[in-house]
């Protein structure tokens, strides 16, 4: 499950607007700053609905900020039992089908939201007022300036700045993902018992930092404007037969990863799929290092992901389709 409002957001100070921000609203930036402060300073608990690809799920959330430490517990209330407990962004335990996807995996790099950077790639605006979960909200929009990223509509609580609703939209305005509170209580911080993991929540064994080495030997001939490499690693695959290089890119809001794995002849097929906002595109490339499967996974348009996959090159030579 991914929802922008559940990711800790660290925001720099609001400075004088640069020329390229002419279409952006200073008020929108102020509200984003209030959002960031709320995530790091405001305790709350409630129930939210998550929608993706026409599928809905309901979740309880407990979020406590105490002595500079942020503790959070999420529990799915319908369908398969799933639970996640995090402390300061680090996953402590998971349950249900999440176990296989999280266990032995280090936490990804923290997302940093900087309005001044975002204004180069998004128009920030205030679209009006709304009411969500019985609370007054202001509607903040982030509209992309090109076709390589999605739009966001955030309904922020007027009292605290917390996100009451978040919508992710494609270039035609179609809904890709929705996060929305049905109940939110900011008056009382969650107790120790409420933050305590259930019996089915399995501790996560964090991979040792030295187990992963920075990925070298790969570059991209093309990236969407604004995306920068923020992390890379090389790890053994699950069968221990080879290594998988991974590269993570970020524009300050959207994020995608590129995975590169050597192939034996005829061992894999190209893939092109999308579930809600998340796409996965795999392409075979012939490089000086041999046959390589390149997979791009992230919340970007599928055409953009395919172009990125086909642009990957070995540093010591040119890849061929």
Residues 282-303: pLDDT tens digits? 999 888 878 899 999 999 999 9
Give the strand pairing for 290-298 and 218-220: unpaired
Question: For the chain, what are the domain ranges?
Answer: 4-203, 209-314
Whether 13 shows a pLDDT value over 90: the answer reads no
pLDDT at position 102:
45
For every residue of 263-277, DSSP letters joined together read --TT----EEEEETT
Read off the tokens for 236.
């053994």
pLDDT at position 237:
66
Are 4-203 and 209-314 equal in CATH topology?
Answer: no
Read off the tokens for 210.
């030295």
Give the SS3 label for residue 87: strand
Q: State mean pLDDT over 252-272.
A: 85
Q: How confident is the model at residue 33 (pLDDT cuts 50, 70, 90)?
A: confident
Whether 320 shows a pLDDT value over 90: the answer reads no
Residue 176's alpha-carbon distances to 33, 141, 169, 257, 305, in angstroms, are 25, 15, 5, 19, 16
Q: What is the fold of 209-314?
A: Phosphorylase Kinase; domain 1 (3.30.200)
- Name which residue leads in pLDDT, 214 or 153: 153
- Percentage, residues of the chain above pLDDT 90: 58
- Determine the straight-line distance between the first and last CA of the chain, rounded to whole angstroms: 33
The pTM (predicted TM-score) of the whole model is 0.81
- Write out pLDDT tens, residues 136-168: 999 999 999 999 999 999 999 999 999 999 999
Q: State mean pLDDT over 304-319.
A: 83
Q: What is the mean pLDDT of the chain?
A: 83
- Name which residue leads in pLDDT, 192 or 7: 192
Q: How many CB atoms lie within 10 A of CB 54?
A: 7
Rounded Cα distance, 183 and 59, in Å: 11
Whether 23 shows a pLDDT value over 90: the answer reads no
Q: Domain 4-203 belongs to what architecture?
A: Clam (2.50)
Q: State mean pLDDT over 44-61.
A: 94
Q: State mean pLDDT over 2-15.
A: 31
- Name which residue leads in pLDDT, 236 or 311: 311
- Write out pLDDT tens, residues 83-113: 999 999 889 999 976 554 443 444 444 555 6
Of residues 222, 251, 228, the one with CA closest to residue 116: 251
């Amino acid at each position: 499950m991914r929802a922008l409002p559940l990711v800790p957001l660290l925001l720099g100070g609001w400075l004088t607007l640069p020329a390229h921000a002419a279409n952006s609203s200073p008020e929108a930036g102020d509200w984003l700053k209030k959002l960031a402060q709320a995530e790091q300073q405001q305790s709350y608990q409630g129930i939210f609905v998550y929608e993706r690809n026409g599928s809905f799920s309901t979740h309880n959330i407990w979020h406590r900020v105490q002595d500079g430490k942020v503790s959070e517990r999420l529990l799915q209330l319908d369908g398969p039992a799933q639970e996640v407990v995090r402390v300061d962004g680090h996953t402590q335990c998971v349950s249900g089908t999440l176990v296989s996807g999280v266990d032995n995996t280090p936490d990804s790099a923290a997302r940093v939201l900087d309005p001044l950077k975002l204004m180069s790639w998004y128009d920030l605006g205030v679209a009006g007022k709304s009411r969500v979960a019985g609370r007054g909200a202001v509607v903040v929009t982030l509209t992309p300036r090109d076709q390589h990223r999605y739009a966001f509509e955030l309904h922020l609580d007027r009292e605290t700045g917390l996100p009451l609703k978040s919508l992710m939209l494609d270039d035609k305005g179609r809904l890709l993902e929705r996060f929305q509170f049905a109940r939110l209580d900011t008056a009382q911080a969650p107790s120790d018992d409420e933050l305590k993991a259930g019996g089915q929540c399995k501790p996560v064994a964090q991979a040792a930092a030295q187990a992963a080495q920075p990925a070298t030997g790969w570059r991209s001939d093309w990236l969407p404007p604004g995306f920068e490499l923020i992390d890379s690693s090389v790890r053994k695959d699950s069968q221990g037969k080879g290594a998988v290089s991974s590269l993570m890119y970020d524009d300050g809001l959207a994020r995608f990863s590129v995975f590169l794995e050597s192939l034996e002849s005829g061992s894999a097929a190209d893939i092109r799929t999308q579930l809600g906002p998340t796409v996965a595109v795999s392409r075979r490339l012939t490089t000086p290092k041999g046959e390589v499967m390149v997979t791009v996974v992230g919340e970007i348009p599928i055409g953009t992901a395919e172009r990125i996959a086909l642009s990957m090159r070995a540093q010591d030579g040119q890849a061929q389709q």
